Amino acid sequence: MNTASQCTPATLSCILKDVETKGQTLNISIEQFLAQVEKKAYRMAEIATSNQQDALDIVQETMIKLVEKYSNKTAEEWKPLFYKILQSKIMDHFRKQKLYRKFFFWKNYHHENGYQQSDYHDNDYHQQLNQACDFISPERDLIGQQNVHKVTQALKQLSVRQQQCFMLRSWEGLNVSETAKAMNCSQGSVKTHYSRAKESLMKALNDE
């Protein structure tokens, strides 16, 4: 853990953002809470499944379950519960996919559901580039968009557990204990997944 003298401005701003975010969760309705987390949750699910529609379905099911079962809990409890349900739904998705492939091995899982996985990757990238063209300084933003694509692609190369662990710990800011509860694993496993994810990401992004 960094001491005060070792804190960089980036770290301090992250801490302040974290405190502000935690304060904001105290006096909000469940709908406001869902509005805060839905986009990040979608991105996590989309990186895990590499499919927009599956990710949307997962996020919707997560929201429904949180509201049905846990709306009576305090606002502080919603965040770890939400991510626990999200992780569970992502794992359910992969179990269903595995079962589907076992019984219908000749069919492509996403093709049968109306979309091609490979088409999606190209469409997403071109969509992001097209959006970049709308900006005033297209060259600068194009580089930004390419970085976004590089990072998301690097995350998709990781195993589901490693990528989800990294995003929960680093991006969402959950501590080791909260991440372990969300992922339904031990704190030791969380630390292992996290360090391996970091190592793989550094290698993948530095090699490019």
Residues forming the site for another protein (CB under 8 A): 2, 6, 8, 10-11, 14, 30-31, 34-35, 38-40, 42-43, 52, 56, 59-60, 63-64, 66-68, 71, 127-128, 131, 144-145, 147-148, 150-152, 167, 170-171, 192, 195-196, 198-199, 201-202, 205
The least CB distance from residue 85 to another protein, in Å, is 12
The least CB distance from residue 56 to another protein, in Å, is 5
Distance between CA 167 and CA 179 in Å, rounded?
Answer: 10
What residues contact 43, with CB distance under 8 A and at least 6 apart? none
Show the DSSP H helices in 8-51 as ranges: 9-26, 30-49
The least CB distance from residue 35 to another protein, in Å, is 6
The least CB distance from residue 24 to another protein, in Å, is 17
**Closest by alpha carbon to 154, among 106, 202, 193, 120?**
202
**Closest by alpha carbon to 195, among 206, 203, 183?**
203
C-beta of 18 vs 98, nearer to another protein: 18
Q: Within 10 A of 39 (CB to CB), how many other CB atoms are there?
A: 10
C-beta of 17 vs 98, nearer to another protein: 17
Amino acid found at 44: M
Amino acid found at 108: N
C-beta of 127 vs 184, nearer to another protein: 127
131-142 as b/e: b if 16+ CB within 10 A = ebeeeeeeeebe
The least CB distance from residue 71 to another protein, in Å, is 6
C-beta of 100 vs 121, nearer to another protein: 121
C-beta of 31 vs 99, nearer to another protein: 31
Asked if 90 and 48 touch (Cβ cutoff 8 Å), the reply is yes
C-beta of 28 vs 100, nearer to another protein: 28
The least CB distance from residue 87 to another protein, in Å, is 17
What residues contact 142, with CB distance under 8 A and at least 6 apart? 129, 132, 133
